[in-house]
Structure 1
C-alpha cells in the first residue's frame, strides 16, 4: 500500500494501517423551521461547524462553532443530540471524519455571517435537496427533520 497516495493512513505494524483523520463537528440548527447554511470556498453549502480541538468534546465543539460561525448564543440551543457520522472525501488526499448534531435554537438573535464563509443562507427543509451540497449533509438534515417533527 502506498501511503504517499493515501496520506490519511498510518502503518502501525507491518501491513496494518489505521485511518488518521481530523474530526469535524457539524450542526443542523432549526431556527423556527429554517436551517442556516454556509457557503464554502468550493461554492458548496455546508452546515456550521468545525474541527474538534484538543481537550474539547464533540458537544462543546458544536456549541463553540455555532457561536463562532453564526454569532448565536450556545446557551439558547436545546435538544443537542448526535444525528449522523461519515467519512467525507473532500479531495483524493483529504478525508475528514464528520460527526453531525441537531439542535433547536430558542434565542431571538438572528444568525450573522462570519469571515470563515462566503455566504449565509436560511433555508426551509423542503429547499435543501436542490442545493449544491454534499449528499451526507442533505442526509443529515433530512434525518434531523424526521426526528424533529416526530418528537
Structure 2
C-alpha cells in the first residue's frame, strides 16, 4: 500500500487591533473569527493576509510576526491549518464589511473571552495584545 499524506488547506488569519479593539468577523457557523483567508498555491502567507484583510475590511495593514499555528477540525472531513499573524493598521476608518461575512465588529480585549470562537484564536489575540503592550514600554 502506498502512503497517502493527509491534505488540507492553509488559512492565514490576522489579529488587527485598532485603538485597543480587535477586528472580528462572524462566519456562517455563528462563530467569531479573525480576518484572512485560504492560501492559494504559490502565494506568500503575509501577502495573502494583507490582501484578504483589505478585501474583508477595507483596511490596509502591515503584517507583523507569526503568532501561532494550529489544525482546526471544523467538522468531519473538514480540517484547516490556521496560521495567525499580528497586523498593524494605521487607519481611523470603520471597517467596511465585504459580502463574505454577515457581521464585523470591534471588541475590547476583555470581551474576547466570552465570544463564541475557537480557543486558539483567543490565544493569538491575547498574544498580540501582550506584544503591543510590550512595544510601548
Shorter-chain TM band: over 0.9
TM-score, reference length from structure 2: 0.92
User: Could you report, residue by residue, the CA deviation over 1:28-54 in whole angstroms, capped at 9, with x for unpaired residues?
Assistant: 001111101000000000000101122
In the TM superposition, what are the counterparts of 1:37-116 in structure 2 within 5 Å? 37-73=24-60, 77-78=61-62, 80-116=64-100
How far did residue 145 of structure 1 move? 1.2
Structure 2: gaps spanning 5 or more residues = none
RMSD, matched Cα: 1.3
Q: CA 1:79–1:59 in 2, change beyond 3 Å: closer, same or farther?
A: closer
Number of the residue aligned with 2:115: 131
If you compute each CA radius of gyration, which structure gives the higher value, 1 or 2? 1
Structure 1: gaps spanning 5 or more residues = 1-13
The number of equivalent residue pairs is 135
In structure 2, the residue corresponding to 1:16 is in which secondary structure? coil
How far did residue 17 of structure 1 move? 4.0
